């Protein structure tokens, strides 16, 4: 309570007013970028607009009270400080989600403000490839196809060169070409993940083994972040006719560490890393190439992956600072950086096994992937959150919200029954 009062005295605003300021800032930022789209990509004016928007996004989470509004800080940091800012910087160089289609302002606002990625389209305005073909290409990206290991960026699809032998970057769509579904589908997924989140939060109220606790915390994070995508996406689909690509996709079914980040975990955030960092390193230029080029070298792929994971680690450190007032002192960054050698070793081993026609059972590969990610996260990701009380604060925030909603629904049902009875 003291923290809440101190926060309100510092800003002179209550929680609702702070949310209103966030909304106004997001709309203004979207309008600025939309109007600035007439300026040449890479020009000083366009860079200035992106820098201003990024600065605003960095401030928004700081408006809220640490330890009191933990969940709000996580969501604002993840969505605006990271995803929206990366979209804005990519836009400045004619890359990323904001330049994929000729959006009207409503569509531009949603793509900028929501953790969604529009479905990639071809020249005729149709999905670049059907969902089945996109899934096949994405699956191929998670498997070794040759002697040299190629590493893909966090949460992105490996370069098409690693899949198709050297086609141009212009048609490397990956999962961006997949459609996450219509309004009914998205609402169903949203409700399902909300129920799943409530179950995981309830399970965490009991003493459970550390490994299982880490897995449940990961599922809570997935459900929480995915819910803020699925709900807005349903509105996007229903109101302004914009189709979006998948966000999370059953991460427990990943058959490799590479596939975990490429195909299953937090694709909305990973798409921004791919478009801003990985593709830039592979292209060797901040501006996209004017002519399509072929396969980037394995060195560029590895450097792009390293840069992407390093950027993800730094952003996560910033999120932790917004939550606690200090960083994890590199522990979170080490969690993301350790993924790079793990993927390289994994691809070498799988390629050697494939040459010898040794097929590792899918269940064994899934067990290894879930075990590796859960175990490394237990010490390098969840360790700091438990040490400083962050995970407990977020879980308590979510639990209080769930209980509050359940109480409101029960009261609503009681009133409805009372009205029918009278």
Would you write out the chain's pLDDT as a tens digit for each of its 422 residues? Answer: 445 555 655 567 888 889 999 999 999 999 999 999 999 999 999 999 999 999 999 999 999 988 888 889 999 999 999 999 999 999 999 999 999 888 999 999 999 998 888 888 654 555 554 444 444 334 333 333 333 333 444 433 333 333 333 334 433 455 888 888 888 888 888 888 888 888 898 899 889 999 999 999 999 999 888 877 777 777 777 788 888 888 888 999 999 999 999 899 999 999 999 999 999 999 999 999 887 777 888 889 899 999 999 999 999 999 999 999 999 999 999 999 999 999 999 999 999 999 999 999 999 999 999 999 999 999 999 999 999 989 888 888 888 876 666 666 566 555 555 555 55
Tell me if residue 373 falls in helix, strand or coil: helix
At a CB cut-off of 8 Å and minimum separation 6, what does 177 contact?
Answer: 119, 120, 127, 128, 129, 130, 131, 133, 134, 245
Count, residues in the chain? 422
For residue 105, give the H/E element and its range: helix 105-113
pLDDT score recorded for residue 161: 32
pLDDT score recorded for residue 241: 80
Q: Which of 324, 314, 336, 342 is CA-nearest to residue 384?
A: 324
* Tens-place pLDDT, residues 101-144: 889 999 999 999 988 888 886 545 555 544 444 443 343 333 33
Residue 20 CA, distance from chain mean position: 24
Tell me if residue 330 falls in helix, strand or coil: coil
Alpha carbon separation from 374 to 3, 53, 146, 206, 327 (Å, rounded): 33, 35, 28, 19, 21
**Exposure b/e, 21-60, CB count within 10 A at least 16 = b:** ebeebbeebbebbbebbeeebeeeebbebbebbbebbeeb
* Tens-place pLDDT, residues 357-366: 999 999 999 9
What does the DSSP assignment read for 55-95? Answer: HHHHHGGGGS-TTTSHHHHHHHIIIIIIIIHHHHHHHHTT-
How many helices (H) and strands (E) in the chain?
A: 19, 0
pLDDT score recorded for residue 156: 39
CB 377 within 8 Å of CB 214? yes
* Tens-place pLDDT, residues 149-183: 334 444 333 333 333 333 344 334 558 888 888 88
CB 310 within 8 Å of CB 291? no
Long-range contacts (CB closer than 8 Å, 24 or more residues apart) made by 202-208: 202/399, 204/395, 205/399
Q: Which of 224, 240, 238, 215 is CA-nearest to residue 190?
A: 224
At a CB cut-off of 8 Å and minimum separation 6, what does 109 contact?
Answer: 26, 27, 30, 31, 34
Please state, in angstroms and rounded to a whole number, the distance separating the CA atoms of residues 230 and 186.
6
pLDDT score recorded for residue 346: 94
pLDDT score recorded for residue 135: 41
Q: What is the DSSP letter of 49?
A: H
**Exposure b/e, 114-134, CB count within 10 A at least 16 = b:** bbbbbbbbeeeeebbbebeeb
Does the predicted TM-score (pTM) go above 0.85? no
pLDDT score recorded for residue 151: 43
Please state, in angstroms and rounded to a whole number, the distance separating the CA atoms of residues 419 and 422.
5
Please state, in angstroms and rounded to a whole number, the distance separating the CA atoms of residues 405 and 290.
52
| Residues facing residue 244 across a β-bridge | 118
pLDDT score recorded for residue 131: 43
Q: What percent of the chain has pLDDT over 90?
A: 50
pLDDT score recorded for residue 417: 55
Q: Which of 268, 51, 312 is CA-nearest to residue 180?
A: 268
Give the number of other CB atoms < 10 A from CB of residue 66. Answer: 18
pLDDT score recorded for residue 405: 65
Say how many CA atoms lie within 13 Å of 31 toward its Cβ. 6
């Amino acid at each position: 309570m003291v923290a809440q009062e101190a926060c309100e005295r510092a800003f002179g605003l209550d929680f609702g007013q702070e949310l209103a300021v966030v909304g106004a800032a997001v709309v203004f930022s979207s309008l600025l970028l939309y109007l600035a789209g007439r300026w040449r990509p890479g020009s000083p004016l366009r860079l200035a607009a992106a820098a201003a928007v990024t600065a605003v996004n960095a401030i928004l989470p700081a408006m809220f009270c640490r330890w009191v509004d933990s969940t709000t800080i996580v969501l604002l940091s993840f969505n605006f400080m990271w995803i929206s800012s990366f979209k804005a910087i990519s836009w400045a160089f004619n890359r990323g989600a904001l330049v994929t289609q000729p959006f009207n302002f409503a569509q531009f606002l949603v793509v900028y403000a929501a953790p969604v990625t529009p479905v990639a389209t071809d020249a005729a305005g149709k999905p670049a490839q059907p969902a089945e073909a996109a899934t096949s290409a994405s699956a191929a990206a998670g498997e070794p196809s040759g002697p040299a290991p190629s590493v893909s960026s966090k949460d992105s699809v490996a370069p098409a060169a690693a899949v198709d032998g050297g086609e141009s970057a212009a048609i490397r769509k990956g999962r961006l070409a997949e459609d996450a579904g219509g309004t009914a589908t998205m609402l169903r997924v949203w409700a399902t993940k909300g129920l799943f989140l409530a179950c995981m939060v309830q399970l965490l109220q009991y003493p459970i083994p550390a490994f299982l606790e880490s897995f449940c915390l990961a599922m809570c994070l997935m459900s929480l972040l995915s819910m803020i995508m699925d709900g807005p996406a349903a509105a996007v689909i229903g109101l302004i006719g914009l189709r979006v690509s998948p966000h999370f996709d059953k991460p427990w079914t990943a058959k490799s560490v590479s596939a975990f980040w490429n195909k299953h975990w937090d694709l909305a955030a990973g798409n921004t890393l791919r478009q801003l960092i990985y593709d830039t390193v592979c292209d060797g230029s901040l501006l996209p190439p004017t002519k399509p080029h072929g396969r980037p070298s394995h060195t560029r792929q590895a450097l792009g992956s390293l840069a992407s994971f390093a950027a993800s680690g730094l952003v996560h450190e910033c999120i932790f600072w917004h939550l606690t007032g200090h960083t994890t002192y590199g522990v979170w960054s080490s969690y993301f950086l350790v993924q790079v050698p793990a993927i390289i070793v994994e691809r070498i081993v799988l390629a050697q096994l494939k040459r010898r026609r040794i097929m590792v059972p899918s269940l064994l590969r899934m067990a290894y992937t879930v075990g590796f990610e859960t175990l490394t996260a237990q010490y390098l990701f969840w360790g700091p959150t438990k040490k400083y009380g962050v995970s407990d604060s977020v879980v308590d925030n979510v639990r209080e919200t769930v209980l509050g909603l359940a109480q409101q629904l029960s009261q609503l049902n009681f009133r409805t029954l009372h009205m029918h009875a009278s």
